[in-house]
Amino acid sequence: MAHLLMVESWVGSMSRLLPRAIREAGHEFTFLTRDLHHYLRSAPEGTAHPLLAARHVLSMETNDTDALLPFIERAHGVLRFDGVITSCDYYLRTAARIAGRLGLPGPTRQSVDSACRKDATRRVLAEAGLPGPRFAVCVDWAEAAAAARDIGYPLVLKPVDLCAGMFVRRVDDEAALAHAYRALAAFPVNARGQRRDPVVLIEELLDGPEVSVETVSYGGAVHVVGVTDKSVGGAPAFIETGHMFPAALDPADTEAVEETARQALKALGLDGVVAHTEIKLTRDGPRLVEVNPRPAGNRITELIRHVTGIDLAAACVDVALGGEPDLRRRATGLTSAAIGFLVSDQDGVLEAVDGAATVRAADGLLELQLAEPGKAVKAAGSNNEYLGHVMAGDAQGQGARARVEALLAQLRPRVVTR
């Protein structure tokens, strides 16, 4: 039995999947958080929160790494940790620093720092010769406006240190750029109380379908589990509205995106991680969007498990302990699985979701999760505003996406404005 230190977590599906994977492997974990109430507010499906299954809960300011490290060293002297883990983007760097300080397995601090900062990722990959969009890193509005004129519209404006698509916007002219820049500047502190870096990334807009490559790196080698497709909506935002595994690509494109992901991970020096690398298939070939040194969100890990039997949450636990994950494929009865997300185009309060009973009885349904009536609803501007999801599988081919889209079309959220 091993003992892991879990440094914060998301409150979504990974907050259930990681504790489950730890428990099923016969291990235990201590949970470290700055605010336990952050998790108690969102206990899933009305049950006790899985993070409360922790052997211990330690309370400490996780946003002050310099003060945190001596505290963790003292806790390690008593509790003896075998690995460090987190599912939250905002604490991946903290987990890497803790693991390095305690001499435990895990990616290097430098590699995680580079992957978690979008501007650093761009610089590292450009220096490694990997093709990507033209880009500029800008510290103020004057630099952003000048860079946009130099690169040419349409463009993408990105924060360098947020996730879930927050404040990532397509901009077609200087007026739209100014609007997006001001909106981001008005968000100086993220949801975990961390002050943001006001630097912005201006990038050439890449045309083409987007996919993600799911990998596990250990022992100096990158192992590709597969490629997931992605649908995006909500322009000028980039909201992920659905995914299918495996992506319906021809063999040449599959090989090209897999190799792009391998090269990116090696350029960044990432090892001992489950990673989710997002790539656009342009007419000039694959172009990297970003590298996430943690398991995919949006229940992509569950799509993969339904099709291949591979459990990426379990793999995340294994590599955090310095072990070799089980990446053997198993027959599951499904050849594709897909998920679609329900979003709102208006602010208000959710009164009901019509059509839920019909969808719940549909053949091939794997999951149906919907927000409860009374939920405050925002017009979707990022991946944080979903009203629920539908997941379905196909045993005969790659029809899962079409099945999910048909089911999603039957769900009609009633949102009342107050």
pLDDT tens-place string over residues 332-360: 999 999 999 999 888 999 999 999 999 99
199 contacts 160 by C-beta, under 8 angstroms? yes
| Cα 130 off chain centre by | 22
Q: How many CB atoms lie within 10 A of CB 207?
A: 12
Those residues whose C-beta lies under 8 Å from the C-beta of residue 122, and which sit 6 or more positions away, are 132, 135, 137, 201, 203
pLDDT of 96: 98
Mean pLDDT of the chain: 95
Describe the crossing of helices 65-79 and 92-102 by its angle, rounded to 10 degrees.
50
Angle between helices 251-268 and 109-116 (to 10 degrees): 120
Give the tens place of pLDDT for each residue, 289-333. Answer: 999 999 999 999 999 999 999 999 999 999 999 999 999 999 999
Structure tokens of 418? 């107050």
Other beta carbons less than 10 A from residue 337's beta carbon: 31
Name the stretches of the chain with pLDDT < 50: none
The predicted model scores a pTM of 0.95
The pLDDT score that the predictor gives to residue 53 is 86
Which residues have C-beta within 8 Å of that of residue 355, sequence separation ≥ 6? Answer: 410, 411, 412
In the block, residue with structure tokens 């990426």: 312
Per-residue confidence (pLDDT) for residue 216, from 0 to 100: 98
- Going 234 to 235 to 237 to 238, the CA torsion angle's sign is positive
> Residue 313's closest CA among 1, 15, 5?
15
